[in-house]
Structure 1
Amino acid sequence: MNTFACSDPTHQDSAEFFCINPFCQEDHLICFAQCFKTRKHLQHTKDIEKISELQSYIVQMKFDCTELLDQINLFQQQVKINLDKLKEGIQSKYLISQIQLAQLNAKQINQVLTSIIQFKEQKQALLSSLY
């Protein structure tokens, strides 16, 4: 294991501990002789780890980060699938060609007109929900 200098440049000793408290305002690398004896990190000693554990702590954080990235990728893929379905639905509902329109009966044309008339309102609602 590498040795690290204490975070406090005025201290001569190597760091023997590190702090993992997310709310701690002190430096995270801690020497015993001066940092600990001057009562730094006293309020959260449960969050102090031996420097020999630093490598495994970093490995665990890398694992957690990779796991989070994998979850984000899955979420991104699902969002893409859902957006593709949404686009297909919008295209099939609102992009009607003249040929398709000519093949519809009066009741079907009325339904198309109802959808087209409501398009602006539905567009605003959709855009609001996406942003």
Structure 2
Amino acid sequence: MKVVHQRYVAHYAGGLVDGAYSLKLFGDAGTHLAITVDGHESLFAGYSSVEFLAPVRGGDIVEVEARLAARGRRSRTVEFELRVLCRSLDETGRAEVLAEPLVATRARGTGIVPADATRTRS
């Protein structure tokens, strides 16, 4: 099970975007995944790993994937990946679609479904 979000990075005017931006998008995709899997937003317990592999810049179009890696009774292990699909070429608004997506950030974390909210879904 996975969900995918795409977004235009509209701020920072072509400059480098902080790593917290990727984590914010992971939170959104993780919540979407939790609702899809369990019908509840869940509570995010934390990340066990985060890797910043390449820069994210203003003007990029990024894709964020949240994939269910493991399911416990109430815990959900989620693997996240942020990929840059398009990149701004300069300050004039010119941009290009990258031949291959650039993996910029990876993470793994755990969400917890409250006991009264668990249900079985496929």
Q: Please report the TM-score for the alignment, with normalisation by the length of structure 2.
A: 0.22
Higher share of residues assigned strand: 2
- Larger relative contact order, structure 1 or 2 (CA cutoff 8 Å, min sep 6): 2
Higher share of residues assigned helix: 1
Q: Please report the TM-score for the alignment, with normalisation by the length of structure 1.
A: 0.20
